[in-house]
Amino acid sequence: MVDKDLLSIQEARSLVRAARAAQAEYSQLGQERIDAVIKAISEVGIAHAEELAQMAHEETGYGKTADKKTKNLLAAEEVYACIKDMKTVGILEEDKVNKVLKVAVPVGVIAGVVPSTNPTSTVIYKSLISLKSGNAVVFTPHPSAKKCIAATVQYIKEALHKCGVSTDLVSCVSVPTIEGSAELMKIADLILATGGPGMVKAAYSSGTPALGVGAGNVPAYIERSADIKDAVAKIFASKTFDNGTICASEQSIICDAVIAADVKREVIAQGGFFLEGENLAKVKAIMERGNGSMNPAIVGRDAQTVAKIAGITIPEGTRLLVSDEPGVGPKYPFSKEKLTSLIGFYVVNDWKEACELCHSLLHNCGIGHTLAIHSHNEDIIREFGLKKPVSRIVVNTPSTHGGVGLSTGLFPSFTLGCGAVGGSATSDNVNPMHLLNIRYVAYDLGNTPVAAPAAPKHTCSCGGSCGGHGSVDINALTSMIVAELKKVM
């Protein structure tokens, strides 16, 4: 009987060894050759976007095929469009005034951790940014998505072969285990981690430099000056996109009391069903496992499926299950991250109380990630921008689409940094420049102060009788000799 753990560890070592040899050769190619490789990966991602989306949906059961196709195209088209003209090879910048050159240095071999919620799109995205910056990448897949991830890697390998570069530049562990993933993260040069809190924590604990993301628990604040119908429509479009599997999706709606009735009416009109009594109790019973973590059975499921699992009946056309959540914390499951068709609902008196509630929700789960605000009061928007403990605040836009850069000017990315407050090494939407080291070549500016040379010393063998511990200033010695000569003349 083969030990899967040992097999996975050995495979990780072999793949990294091969990737390191391939990357050493690949990193010597010029910008033009590397850009051709990136274009080929983009084209293969576009060509197979729908097929891979279907595979991901069938294998994991998460989300919607159409939305997974959109995510694949976001990675293959939008990410490529943003990086294709980036300079990532050789001298990046020359400061002629300060006489400093900035030289791009690839990190080496990237360990790509891939989640089951966004499997194929994450592989396309991480392959593009890794190879654009002159690196190789070895993926460790989530076991429940290993087939669609392997298929994506295989299509990319075919593109690499046609470009005349080593197919070892992109590879994937075929026997994923915790031990194999740990070994990969230990021997790679950098970890690019997207996944659950446990996997991200393991990445940062591996001893290898890591770029990871924390949990998202996005509050969506509808301030009294907002267009209510537009705000609710955007929240629903975002939260139902791929059935809420993107960590930037909204987890709670917060609204001012003076508009709360109007917001509730609009939520119901657009397909929200407010849970009460026994219905609410049954849904809460299946939201979490015994340890308080999300129940994987409801992740990425539509409202009807969640209702069926909970054993309740809901109206046809229901898009989201909503709960008036009375508090924040471990005892209030609707105050946590819910990667499915569930959302909390809160009412506050004004924007200042909304600020405090957003803080509580983010500290409960999701600090450093993302916050959404719907408002036409620029002063309040700026207050949120200046003080909220998140890395991105998206304004009057769906949080999912805005956070990943689909409906905003943010860099299109599937790795959304949460900053130091969220336990991440960056607050950026990760791009190729995060996978490069910069070598600085700095020239002398000609303004270094140079000390005057010291007076010459004379070393004698008097054993220290001259008072200089064996050495004395030559001028002092000359004066002494002259004085002695005068005495005998």
For the annotated catalytic residues, the residue numbers are 247
Q: Do residues 186 and 207 make contact, with C-beta atoms less than 8 angstroms apart?
A: yes
Rounded to the nearest angstrom, the gap between the alpha carbon of residue 420 and the centroid of all alpha carbons in its chain is: 12
Q: Do residues 293 and 333 make contact, with C-beta atoms less than 8 angstroms apart?
A: no
Rounded to the nearest angstrom, the gap between the alpha carbon of residue 25 and the centroid of all alpha carbons in its chain is: 28
Strands 368-374 and 272-274: unpaired
Of 74, 83, 82, 77, the closest CA to residue 34 belongs to: 83
The alpha carbon torsion through 220, 225, 231, 232 (nearest 10 deg) reads 90
Give the whole-angstrom CA distance, residue 485 versus residue 480: 9
Of 390, 372, 78, 117, the closest CA to residue 241 belongs to: 117
Give the Cβ contact number of residue 173 at 10 Å. Answer: 25
| DSSP designation for 79 | I
Rounded to the nearest angstrom, the gap between the alpha carbon of residue 136 and the centroid of all alpha carbons in its chain is: 18
Question: Which helix (H) or strand (E) covers residue 461, if one does?
Answer: none
For 7, residues 6+ apart whose C-beta sits below 8 A from its C-beta are: 175, 180
The alpha carbon torsion through 359, 364, 368, 374 (nearest 10 deg) reads -50
For 236, residues 6+ apart whose C-beta sits below 8 A from its C-beta are: 270, 271, 272, 319, 320
Give the whole-angstrom CA distance, residue 414 versus residue 246: 9
Q: How many residues does the chain have?
A: 489
Residues facing 320 on adjacent strands: 272
Q: Do residues 87 and 438 make contact, with C-beta atoms less than 8 angstroms apart?
A: no
